[in-house]
Amino acid sequence: MTIWEKAILNMQRGSRRISISAALFADRVRVEINIVRLRIRIDEVQERIDAQYQAIGRKVDNLTRGEALPKTTEHLVQDEEIAAAMIELTDRKQEMVELRSKIVDEQASMKTVQKQAEGASE
């Protein structure tokens, strides 16, 4: 093999490595952006959960001030506002679980992409 053939071969290898690194970087940036978006949505869902807890507390406080507080918690949960807030809480908590699982999936997909890129570069 002549020196020129070796130089061309080395340039091809280098070019392949650069393209693999660029693809890996692009995938990593995409995953990181998706994770940031999911975390922002988690924060928004947490704010809605906090608002529901405040609504429940406000209703209980109003019932306490009016001396109309039920004797048992079963009667308290039967109140329309509190029942609606409880349903909303359940939905938001489920949404948070789903968002967290999406984050885990995104992180796992990034690890497999990295392993595939490492295998391709060798």
pLDDT attached to residue 50: 92
Does position 33 have pLDDT exceeding 90, yes or no? yes
Q: Is residue 28 part of a domain?
A: yes
Number of structural domains found in the chain = 1
Query: What confidence tens digit (pLDDT) does each residue in 51-101 have?
Result: 988 888 887 777 767 666 666 666 666 677 777 888 888 899 999 999 999
Provide the residue range defining the domain that includes 43: 22-112
Length of the chain: 122
Q: Grade residue 102 by pLDDT with cuts at 50, 70 and 90.
A: very high
pLDDT attached to residue 24: 87
What integer best gives the mean pLDDT of the chain?
Answer: 83
Helices (H), 1-122: 3-65, 73-77, 80-121
Q: Is residue 34 part of a domain?
A: yes
Q: Is residue 2 part of a domain?
A: no
CA distance linking residue 95 with residue 89, whole number of Å: 10
pLDDT attached to residue 65: 72
pTM reported for the whole predicted model? 0.68
Q: Is residue 17 part of a domain?
A: no
CA distance linking residue 36 with residue 29, whole number of Å: 11
Q: Is residue 7 part of a domain?
A: no
Does position 21 have pLDDT exceeding 80, yes or no? yes
